[in-house]
A and B are shown apart, each in its own frame.
Chain A
């Protein structure tokens, strides 16, 4: 099989090829390393590439599989790691100068799980500095290039992971999501991004941002691939206080079941305001696709979602300022002015502001759970527009000027505040050729239903098969 053919395989296809003996983990890993060497100078998706270690791991995986010790679908398949996840090998920079030489010397819990699954870590991906921003613009290491438009932001904070998947430099990658940092770059780069339920994937050994809203999850080319990755990543871990002792199902099993009778709630009241009309049309069309597949589609109201930014502000500002307090005191000048500017106001949050933010989160969550007793999944756009231009601080959407940071996070944030599982998947393109993301969210611990709805949409359309030109 040619290198182009190997790097065109989805995770599921590569896994089946490895299981059957048609694909060699060594060839697959080598093909991706060659592709990264050839193209990543342009895409800037990777901060570190584990060339020799990855090839050694691939050879070990191949030997195990040939000896009959096949571990499962991730065995021998390469993946990439957002560079705020601790790894035994190399530095973990968090996209910052402050931690440029930080070597934790141990693997995060999620890496331990992927090692057990036999997955091949190919490298560490770029991100917004300390994951504190939704654009992916990074003044220290360069901004990963959105494969759909070199002058467009990739989205963040998991920018390198999304670009690497979109440009076929890797089959799938780990991201993290505090206000949308998996789903935003997934939507803007035209790939699938899954934020699981809060507590589903351990954050032990993952640099935090706002710990009551931090999640870890996968970015991939297809919904099935995201399900495969999550099945290996998820599980209880006592070292993360938020980790939940919930059974972990095989998220792929049942993903192809019919969606006839599945109740889909379209949330128009907040999520369809101030949208690019092309985005609104694509997401409305997605609801029609699910209806044609047999789902029962209705409109539902989620009025408290309109308060998400106000609820989020004291929680995120103060948790981020608290997390960074020590480093900020010592290394003020090493932070970019952009991130310092987002951290500084956090010191002005009072205890009553923070606690009222947390109380309001409880109200928001209760309303979301009430909705999810009436429908099985909520359907919204992921982003109000296609990827904005690099350097733009504001957007004009339908005659209304809005800051880019607020625009990028306002539709994803409600599901960080509520901790509900949410996926973004491609559902069309703007007339400028920029990807549009569809967001589906569901009940706590019910990623399976969210993935089933997403998979049904994906199977009925071909948006996920579109690839950017090289």
Chain B
């Protein structure tokens, strides 16, 4: 886990409140190291993807119409 948290306690509490959940401070604080590792991981991913030029998508149409393989 990184030493510093990019998201602080107040910011995390506000973020969770916007999502409609209101944990006790101790639970908000417990989430901060995980969030910090998330930001650290995001930097690693950016580095990993730096040379990646292909279009990426999380949406795709099916390869074949439903039922085609079983016909």
Contact = CB atoms under 8 A, between A and B. Distances in A.
Interface string A288-313: 00000000000000001001011101
A344 B28 contact: yes
B17 to A, nearest CB: 10
Interface string A119-146: 0000000000000000000000000000
Contacts, number: 101
Interface in B17-71: 19-23, 27-28, 30-31, 34-35, 37-38, 41-42, 44-46, 48-49, 52, 54, 56, 58, 62-70
The main secondary structure of chain A at its interface with chain B is: helix
- Chain B CB count within 10 A is highest, among A314, A337, A344, A356, for A344
Contacts of B16: 344, 347
A353 interface: yes
A359 B38 contact: no
Given A314-B38, A345-B38, A348-B12, A356 B69 contact: no
Interface string A203-243: 00000000010000000000000000000000010100000
- Measured as residues with beta carbon below 8 angstroms from the partner, the interface class of chain A is 35 or more
B38 A340 contact: no
A348 B58 contact: no
A247 B27 contact: no
Contacts of B69: 236, 245-247
Interface centre among A245, A321, A328, A358 (most CB of B within 10 A): A245
A247 B70 contact: yes
Contact of A245 (B41, B44, B48, B68): B68
A258 interface: no
A325 B20 contact: yes
B28 A307 contact: no
B35 A337 contact: no
B45 A236 contact: no
Interface residues of B, number: 37
A340 B23 contact: yes
A329 interface: yes
Interface in A393-450: none
Contacts of A350: 42
Given A236-B66, A341-B30, A341-B31, A329 B21 contact: yes
Contact of A345 (B22, B34, B44, B54): B34
Contacts of B44: 307, 310
Contacts of A337: 27
Contacts of B63: 245
Interface string A322-366: 000100110010000100110011011110110111111011000
B43 to A, nearest CB: 9
Contact of A236 (B19, B38, B67): B67
Given A307-B44, A344-B27, A347-B15, A317 B38 contact: yes
Contact of B37 (A212, A246, A313, A355): A313
Nearest to A357: B45
A22 to B, nearest CB: 35
Chain B CB within 10 A, most for which of A212, A238, A349, A356:
A356
Interface of B: 7, 12, 15-16, 19-23, 27-28, 30-31, 34-35, 37-38, 41-42, 44-46, 48-49, 52, 54, 56, 58, 62-70
14 contacts: A238-B66, A245-B70, A307-B44, A313-B38, A314-B42, A321-B19, A325-B20, A337-B27, A340-B27, A341-B30, A344-B28, A355-B56, A355-B58, A359-B49
- What are the nearest 5 A-B pairs in CB distance? A345-B34, A310-B41, A359-B56, A329-B20, A344-B31
